[in-house]
Amino acid sequence: MIKFLNNLKLGQKLRLLFIVGVLIPMITTDWMIVKNIIEATNNTRQNEMEKCANAVEYALVEHLEYPVTIARNLYKSQVMEEFLNREYESPGEYYKAFYQLKSSLLFDSNIGIEGGTLSIYADNPTIIDGSGFYRLDKESEWYLAFEAERRQSSFHFLYEPGSSTDKSLRRKIVLLMQMDVDSSRGCEKILRIELDYVNLAEALEALDKVNSNRQFLVCEGNTIVLTQSSASYKFQPFPEFEKIEKGSYRKNVHLYDQDLTITVLPEKDQGGTFFRQNGLTFIIMLLVNIILPLIMMRMIEISVTRRILYLEKSFDNETEDDELQLITRIEGNDEITGLIRSYNRMAIRMNELIMTVYKDKLHEQEINIARQNAELLALHSQINPHFLFNALESIRMHSLLRGETETAEMVGKLAVIERTYVNWGGDSVSIGREMEFVQAYLALQKYRFGDRLKFDISVDPDCEQFGIPKLTLVTFVENACVHGVERKTTPVWIFVRASKQNGKMCIEIEDTGEGMDEEELHELMERIRNVTIEDMKNKKHVGVMNAYLRLKKVTKGLVEFDISSEKGLGTVVRIVMPLEIRI
């Protein structure tokens, strides 16, 4: 741990101390407090949602209890059962029995159930429809649905025509009860109560004033049958329940053999309500536990690290004379201040030493530059006689073999070469001019070798203006003629190519001459890679080493040089150099 801390900067150590010693313990403590507040708030919210669901359930039961009580009383009436089971011979007999029933039970199907109607259906063909009694049509949709459920009672929310005169579709609440399960006692009888949907919706809507910001849904399966403001949607179909919001409270209710689900949705602005209730507490905790310690730690860090960084930059910032800068602004009176004063004393002494050594350094650089120029001049003078003697030898051999008739033309070629080699001017020449020199040299050599020498020169047009040291390429071409063509009796091709590849200049000199074996090639490459001015005294391969040394100096060692050769097949010299020397 100590090794790790030693690698940290002072500011990082202070921040690490703040994080481990202050921030993490405070965050842990604050999180436990916030967690308890959130849990308490959620429990309170859950209790409120549960109370809302219980209130909705109570409103449903209260609205349905009275009509259900009336229906149960009718269900137990012996007089009612006898009236429904009796077969009447005429309408007059039926109406007489109906009025007797009405007077004995004080019964009126449209009176006594506020906001709804009570109807009794019997499987008795002698009953005349009207006044709350109807023949049971076993082919009707509501009966088939009730029969399929096979239950004693059924409670439904429907969307169907309102009445025989009102053909508009509207929402209804229908309670169906089987009055006589045992068919052996008489005909089948079903009691049907239609309640006013609007009354129940308005009763539930009143709960919205008590449970503001909370929406509740009463669902039958996946259908929403009741919610706030349901009364205003009495002419619209029941919507389908799409998705339960996170944090909702659900309660299953079983009313009269019907399963309903009461879902209380969370508040719309739950996060805003929570923040309004507890925001001040959180702000105070944040300010006291984090902001104030952070500000204090930052001030300490600035007091310490700013002056240390200023001292560090003073070491890096040097003047044009490589002198150390003195710190003129010294603040405080602590240990760091003493360190700054010690730095100023050291800087004064260092600057005195720099001024003493500076002149010696300049003198040494001037000596090195002079020595490099002398080496370059030595290279220039080394190549001149070497090349001139070989050219004159070619003229001499040609004169001996073919007579004096073509000597003038050969001398003209030699003049082109000599004009280039004598007029150094600078050490660089464009590749285009160098290729002209190579062309003249190969043409001169062809007089000597005749059909034994063939050559091809190709240069990309965009390479002609890039520079190369003078007489570099012709040195490798000369080497190909001397060591390739002379040693082989069969015709030899010499190819000279220059092109740009991957942002660099690539030059290849290839011949199909005698070539070298592996050992000779290895020895030559070792000499070339380690060549010095002293090695130029060795006459073997002096031209190749001379050319390589000049390329290396011009490109500051960035030239890539490679020779590949195979005995009896030929040699390829490959030079890759940056495009820095442009004429």
Concatenate the DSSP letters of all residues of 122-150 into one string.
ES-TTPPSBTTEEE--TTSHHHHHHHHHT
Q: What angle do CA 408, 414, 416 make, to 5 degrees?
A: 110
- pLDDT at position 476 over 80: yes
For helices 431-449 and 472-480, give the axis angle rounded to 10 degrees.
Answer: 20
Averaged pLDDT, 439-457: 86
Q: What is the pTM of this model?
A: 0.43
pLDDT at 583: 45
Between 132 and 442, the higher pLDDT residue: 442
- Classify residue 84 as exposed, middle or buried by CB count within 10 Å of its CB (0-12, 13-18, 19+): buried
* CATH number, domain 22-268: 3.30.450.20
Q: How far apart are CA 293 and CA 422, in angstroms?
A: 82
pLDDT in tens, 238-260: 888 777 777 788 889 888 777 88
The reported pLDDT for the residue numbered 262 is 87
Helices (H), 77-140: 78-85, 91-105
| Residue that wins the pLDDT comparison between 221 and 11 | 221
pLDDT at 111: 41
Q: Please, which pLDDT band fits residue 564 given cuts at 50, 70 and 90?
A: very high
Residue 357: CB atoms within 10 A of its CB come to: 10
The pLDDT value recorded for residue 338 is: 78
CA 546 to chain centre: 57
pLDDT (0 to 100) of residue 511:
92
Contact 188, 122 (CB under 8 A): yes
**Higher pLDDT among residues 318 and 343, named by residue:** 343
In the predicted structure, residue 270 carries a pLDDT above the cut 50:
yes
Residue with tokens 């109607």: 117
Predicted local distance difference test score (pLDDT) of residue 406: 61
Instruction: Judge whether 511 and 494 are in contact, CB under 8 Å.
Output: yes
Q: Which of 35-44, 500-509, 572-581 has the highest mean pLDDT?
A: 500-509
Mean pLDDT of all residues belonging to the chain: 76
Average pLDDT over residues 148-160: 76
What share of the chain has pLDDT > 90, as a percent? 5
Residue 108 pLDDT level (bands cut at 50, 70, 90): very low
Phi, psi of 19 (to 5 degrees): -70, -50
The pLDDT, as a whole number, for residue 495 is: 94
User: Could you tell me which residue, 526 or 163, shows the higher pLDDT?
Assistant: 526
Task: Give the pLDDT confidence score for residue 397 in this predicted structure.
Answer: 67
pLDDT value of residue 228:
76
Q: 378-578: CATH homologous superfamily? A: Histidine kinase-like ATPase, C-terminal domain (3.30.565.10)
pLDDT for residue 362 is more than 60: yes
pLDDT, position 166:
60
Half-sphere exposure of 444 (CA within 13 A, CB side): 30
Task: Tell me what pLDDT residue 571 has.
Answer: 92
Q: Where in the chain is CATH 3.30.450.20?
A: 22-268
Q: How confident is the model at residue 367 (pLDDT cuts 50, 70, 90)?
A: very low
287-310 confidence digits (pLDDT tens): 777 777 777 777 777 767 777 777
Q: What is the pLDDT of residues 484-542, one digit of tens each?
A: 888 788 899 999 999 998 888 999 999 998 888 888 888 888 888 887 666 655 556 67
Q: Rounded to an integer, what distance in angstroms lies between the CA atom of residue 107 and that of residue 119?
A: 12
Of 232-246, 323-337, 447-461, the poorest mean pLDDT is in 323-337
Per residue in 46-88, pLDDT (tens digit) is: 888 888 888 888 888 887 777 777 777 776 677 888 888 888 8
Indicate whether 110 pLDDT > 50.
Answer: no
Q: Say yes or no to pLDDT of 458 above 80.
A: yes
Specify the domain boundaries for CATH 3.30.565.10 within the chain: 378-578
